């Protein structure tokens, strides 16, 4: 059986299973299984498949057909400009989360270069570590309650070459004593310049959550009490009093949480500006608070 035939059959199989991007998924998995770049698949269409190669591909296809995300099967996901290791201990980075990066970088261009950052509930580290790559003099305290997530993020920090500018804190993000102690040790400052987070913000009974998201991604990183608002409120309240004179807070949130979180941030009487950022679909995506000094 030749490569093109395998690719076409896999694509049709995924279509029949109701997978949203059957051709793309088939290309990614076959390229991964054969240790090729995707473009090379088309240069080797007439190449016969060996039995051991077919066995490898069958296993990858089986996993995808059962709903396992492609990113977990491949072991990585591209985010912003960089590649991040992922496994089932961390959320898969989503394109909409890149809005956090864009918002912080837009604010940071007019600030000092040696910013101190805190990333609460960092998971794979995609937000905080990307910011370290983009802000070469910044330093980061990355906080997550999951030891398994911390292990993934540490490997990502090393692969990105930023491990000397990040301090990992394996603790509940509400443990401000541990977080702020690590921050002062790393930056020499008491006050936070940038706080970012993609916290759990989904209500446990939200009917719109895909079954395979619940099945494969860590529920600890998905769901929160108070209709998904509990950690957004708690973490922002805890750290709002520890911000520098000029500071930026950017947190991802759910698509119906904008008005509630805008009022909540405004009631701190800390920020010069509070705004809701919408994603490309026009849905609420980020809550942002800025202090202008």
Q: Is 122 labeled as ligand-binding?
A: yes
Answer yes or no: is 201 a known binding residue: yes
Provide φ and ψ at 117, rounded to 5°.
Answer: -120, 150
DSSP annotation of 113 reads S
Q: Which helix (H) or strand (E) holds 139?
A: strand 139-144
For residues 69 and 42, the answer to whether their CB atoms sit within 8 Å is no
| Partners of 84 in the β-ladder | 77
116: alpha, beta or left? (left if phi > 0; alpha if psi -120 to 50): beta
User: What is residue 119's three-state secondary structure?
Assistant: strand
Q: How many CB atoms are closer than 10 A to CB 206? A: 15
Known binding residue 200? Answer is yes
Query: Are 8 and 61 spatial neighbours (Cβ–Cβ below 8 Å)?
Result: no
219 is in an annotated binding site: no
72 is in an annotated binding site: no
Neighbour-count burial for 42-65, b at 16+ CB within 10 Å, e otherwise: eeeeebebeeebeebbeebbeebe
Is 95 annotated among the ligand-binding residues?
A: no
216 belongs to an annotated ligand binding site: no
124 is in an annotated binding site: yes
Distance CA 250, CA 95 (A): 16
Torsion of the alpha carbons at 147, 152, 158 and 161, rounded to the nearest 10: -110
Structure tokens at 278: 């919408």
- Name the residue among 8, 35, 40, 28 with its Cα closest to residue 73: 28
Is 136 known to sit in a ligand binding site?
no
Residues annotated within the binding site are: 121-125, 144, 198-201
Residues annotated within the binding site for S-adenosyl-L-methionine are: 121-125, 144, 198
Residues annotated within the binding site for substrate are: 198-201
């Amino acid at each position: 059986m030749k490569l093109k035939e395998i690719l076409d059959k896999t694509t049709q199989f995924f279509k029949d299973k109701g997978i949203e991007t059957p051709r793309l998924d088939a290309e990614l998995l076959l390229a991964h299984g054969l240790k090729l770049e995707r473009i090379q698949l088309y240069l080797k269409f007439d190449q016969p498949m060996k039995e051991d190669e077919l066995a490898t591909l069958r296993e990858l296809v089986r996993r995808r057909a059962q709903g396992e995300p492609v990113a977990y099967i491949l072991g990585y996901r591209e985010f912003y400009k960089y590649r991040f290791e992922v496994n089932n201990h961390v959320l898969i980075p989503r394109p909409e989360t890149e809005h956090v990066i864009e918002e912080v970088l837009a604010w940071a261009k007019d600030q000092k270069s040696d910013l101190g950052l805190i990333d609460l509930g960092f998971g794979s580290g995609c937000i905080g570590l990307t910011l370290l790559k983009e802000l070469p003099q910044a330093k980061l305290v990355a906080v997550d309650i999951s030891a398994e997530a911390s292990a993934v993020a540490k490997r990502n920090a090393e692969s990105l070459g930023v491990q000397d500018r990040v301090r990992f804190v394996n603790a509940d993000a509400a443990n401000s004593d541990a977080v702020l102690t690590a921050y002062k040790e790393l930056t020499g400052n008491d006050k936070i310049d940038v706080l970012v987070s993609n916290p759990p913000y989904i209500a446990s009974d939200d009917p719109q959550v895909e079954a395979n998201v619940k099945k494969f991604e860590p529920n600890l990183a998905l769901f929160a009490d108070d209709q998904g608002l509990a950690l957004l409120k708690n973490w922002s309240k805890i750290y709002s009093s520890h911000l520098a004179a000029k500071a930026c807070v950017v947190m991802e949130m759910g698509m119906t949480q904008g008005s509630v979180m805008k009022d909540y941030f405004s009631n701190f009487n800390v920020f010069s500006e509070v705004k809701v950022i919408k994603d490309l679909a026009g849905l609420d995506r980020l809550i942002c608070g800025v202090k202008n000094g």
